Structure formats: structure tokens, C-alpha cells
Structure 1
Amino acid sequence: MNDWFRAAATAAFALVATAPALAADPFPTRPVRIVVATAAGGWGDNTTRLVAQRMSEKLGQPVVIDNRPGADSLVGIRHVKSAPADGYTLLSTGATIMLQPVVKKDPGYDLSKDFTGVGSMARSPAVMVVATDRPEKSLTSFVMQAKSEPGKLSYGSAGVGSATHIPVEMFVQQAGVKLLHVPYKGNGAAMPDLIAGRVSMMFDAYSSSVGNLKGGRLKALGVTSGTRLRALPDVPTFAEQGLPGFSYYYWLGLFAPAGTPPDVVNRLSTALRDALASVELNERMQSEATEPMVMPPVEFNAFLRTEATRLHKFATDLGWTKE
């Protein structure tokens, strides 16, 4: 009888000892929210929505998009910084998150302390687009016009220090022109003014301009890729039009608040990587001049540190002062 009690007690202790592990539900148990810090309709928003749909299939929970534009993307970035570090609130953004500390005296966050990288998502070259009725037929003719009227031609962007602002500044520097910057709450918000001719030009991802390009409302003057895009075979690269070596790619990544448990970050990273491996998603991306950009957390965070250093040097070389 004593042996029976001892065996029963041992079994009961084993059950109690494993109860926490059995009770702990695996992440996620509810929908995951991805905050996009720009208005709906741009490349970053569209690409994030495509990836989120695939991630939801891998996670077994809905992955919803929450657009929070404003203050040059700081509204969305700060919102995620202040969210619980549980993996249920993520941020989708690109170089903007590293640029704001370069152009703002108090951006309200420190990338190295307030966020951790979940993984990279995609990259796409920029396309220089203008309204169809503008007189310029090429990048070369646009540069000539800009040089003849310094400061008169303008360009729209997703905001000061945004990923769509930087490549134009790179272009301005290399081409030796002066343009007026008109910031918006995302490239999608700038599009009506571009089509109407209220701003002269914009750099945009092909996927968010393709509808207007095919609809005859915009025309492309150049692409920032190393070679011509399959989707725009008749549009020369910047390098082909007198700017040797000029190349720029937008990129997107997922970020979580600092302190998010490593196992949760890895679960999200695995879902992201599996989503990007989808044949259907790859075909959709390639049709929109976008390609998957796959980096696990460790590699992605190393990439962020390198990019932050490079962009800080670029801003310093340009003599930018913080607002």
C-alpha cells in the first residue's frame, strides 16, 4: 500500500511540475497587428499587406494592417515603441526608421534600444515618375530643365527623412540640380498632386505607380536599378542617362518593441521567411519589380547597424541640420 501511495505521489508531482508548460499556449493565440507608418496605397503598404496574408497562414492567426501615418512616420514608429513587447504589435518600415534620428533632434525613440529586428521583407528600385503632360521625355531632359530653372521644379516624398526622400537627395547631389521638396504623409498621399502637376516629380516604387503608368496618367523617366526593369524595358537606368554608378533600392523590414521574447521573435521570423518562400508571392512581387529580401533577426540587426552608419555619414556629408 505504501508503495502504491509513493507511486501515486510521484505521478502527481510530475503532473504539477509540467502543468505550467502544458498550460502555456504557443504564440500566437490572437491576431497579430502590423503598423505601417505611412498612408495606405504606397509600395510599403501594398507589399506589407501581401506578406501579412501569407504570414497569417503560417501563424494560424489573422495578421492585420494598421496604417498610422503622420509626423514623417514618427506617429507609427512611436506607437509601436510604446506597445507591449509581446509580439502582437509589429512595425513595417524601411530606412525611414534610421533616418529620423538623423534629421530630428528628438525623434522620440532610439532604434538600438527601443526596437529589435524581426527580419527583412523585400526590396525594390525607385522609378522617377512625372505627370504625362510634362514636357520632359527623359531623365536627361529633366536635369537640363532643372538646371535652367534652379529651385523651380519640385518633388514629392513620403516625408522629411523618409525612404523616398533620400534617393532624390542622392540624385540632386550627383546631378548638381536644385529642387523644391514637398513632403507628404506617404507617397500614396502625394500621387494626386503629382498627376495634377502640382509637384513636378517623384521617386516611387514601380508597384505603387504601375496603375497610373499603365493608365497613362504618369510616365517614367528612369529607374534606379543596376539594369533595366523587366516591367519597364524601354525605360533606361539612371546610370545609362549620365549618372554612372547611381543605384538605390527601397527595402522593408519587420520590427518588434525591444524586450519581445526571443522565442516569439523567432516564431515571427520563421513565419516571415516561410511567407517569402511562397512561389505565388514571389511571382506577384516580381511582376511588380519587387524581390524578396530574406534575413533572419541576427543578420537583419547587423544590416541595420551598417545602414544606420552609412545614412548618418550621407546626411553629415550633405550638411543636414536636425530640426
Structure 2
Amino acid sequence: MRLLVLGGTAMLGRAVAAQAVADGHDVTCLARGVAGDVPDGVRWVRGDRDEPDGLAEVSAADSRWDAVLDVSRQPGQVRSAVVALEPVASHFVFVSTGNVYADHSRLASDESVPLLPALDGEVMADMTVYGEAKVACEAAVLDGFGADRSLIARAGLIGGPGDASGRSGWWPWRFAHPVGSGGAVLTPDDPGLPMAIIDVRDLAAWLVRCADARTSGVFDAVGEPDTLGGLLSAAREVAGHEGAVVPASAAWLAEHGVQEWMGDESLPLWISDPDWRGFGSHTGAAARAAGLTNRPVTDTLRDAAAYEEGRQATDPRRCGLSDETERKLLGLLGH
């Protein structure tokens, strides 16, 4: 297969390119290179998709691609790619997100959940309209390539090595480096919260297989259904943690300024809003029927933790509580 990856230097695009090369495919990446270099064995076309001629080299009349894979969140970029590449590409794989759904309160849901309205415009100004922007991107792909020549992968929470957000790596890292008395670690008191992680390598391998097989359709590409409590137990196992786990209520954490999901002074993977309780509970049954497989989550967390351990000063951790804050909060709770 001749595969064109639009990107290829950041977490998922790089994993796709590396997997495709390992599988023996001919891989080209079009990227600016801001996030780094492409993997070994990949032809690199330097290009900026925001420029009028950014796709010129890969959309020339003598180009021919068996499949194109795109991860962009900008509708204008995707629309331009679809127009330029439809004449020279057989299949288009677009990586979307579960954020496209208008209702996140449903449990054990699938691809039938209604979507948000598509973003009206070419550029997503900020993450508050991330879901709407991806809806617009999906529509551009389906309009240009048609349902039979495209695959939409609505990815869930992606984790593993290279997770710069820290969401999948922070908990095993924290359990390996507790700051509370006797190794205590602060957690949200919501072990039953549905939450799943898909390993970036599993997602990449499935996307490459789908591209090669020209698989079409819309799929929730997610990890095996799990809970926050299950993920924290797996993180403790990976870290060999034997200290106390100190749960705190959502109200108490909010009162003390603890953020949810990700970012500074947060407890990652935790969502208290009942309207978002189903976000991490999509079953992924259709994708698994189409060949998606998931490795044990302990493997994902172990490798995400190794990535956290190797962070440099130029790549600061973007997730979780600072040592000082967690120590203070645990002290208030008697630990």
C-alpha cells in the first residue's frame, strides 16, 4: 500500500507512520516538522497545509495513493485536503474524536448518538469548539470521498508512550512517586466512573490495517470498557504502590481548587459532571468487530509512565497535582 499521512511527527500520526513502515508499506508524511522528525523509513515531504500550495507535491496528477490518513482538527485543512487528494487517492481515513457527540450522559453507547452542529468556518479558534470542528471535518471527508471510500475513527482517550498530555501517564507516575505520609495518594471518590484508554499503538495498528483493507464506515475507536477505579488499580499495580489511597468527594476537591480531567493542579481522567458521565463508556463493539484489538491496560500505563519518567525540563508535565498541592491536601485529610 502507498500511504500518505498528513502529519506523522506527533503522537498518533507518528505511530501510524511507524506501524505502516513496519508492516512493509510505502509511507510518505507531509508535515512541517514542528513536532519533530518522521520515523525512519518514511519519505518526508515538508509542507504547510495552511499555505495555498501546501499539498501541491502530494496531489500532483502523477501522484497515486492507496490511502490517505488525516488527524487534523481544522475544517479548512481537511476540506482542502479532500478537494486536492480525491482525484489521486482511493481511500481516506480520518481520525475524529468522541467529542463530536452532542450527548455524553448515555452509558454503554455507540455511534448512533446524535452529533453536535458542525462548526461554521475554516478554523477552530480554541478547544471549546473542538467537537464542532471535528464534526465539520467528518462532513468534508464524507462529502468528498463518499461513505464507501472513507473511514471515520472517533477516537476515545488515547494513551501510552508519547502522551504529552500526561493523562495516561500521571497516575502510574504518581503512585510510583507518592508525596503523602506513608506513601498516600489522593484520588477522586468515584471508582465507578466509566473510563477507558486506547493505546496509541493499538489504534495505529488498526488504522493501518483498515487503510490497507479499504475498510469504510464510522467507528468509535476506544479502549476496552473500564472504570476510573479499574484504571487506578492498574496504575497502582504498574507502580508497585502499597501506600494508602485517599479518596475525596467531588465537592471537597472543587472547594480546594482541584481541576478535573487534565491540566495544572488536576486529578486526571476524572469527570464529575453527570452530563459527561458516559464520555468514557462507548463500547467500541463495531470497531472490535472490524478488527480493533486492545492490549492489557497495564502495558499502556507502564509505557506511559516510562515516558513520564523520561520527560526533560523542556517538556514539563502538563497534568496532575504538584507535589506541594497534593501534600497540602492530604494533610487536610489527615494523611
Q: Relative CO higher for 1 or 2, CA cutoff 8 Å, sep ≥ 6?
A: 1
> As a proportion of its length, which structure holds more helix?
1
TM over 0.5: no
TM-score (norm 2): 0.30
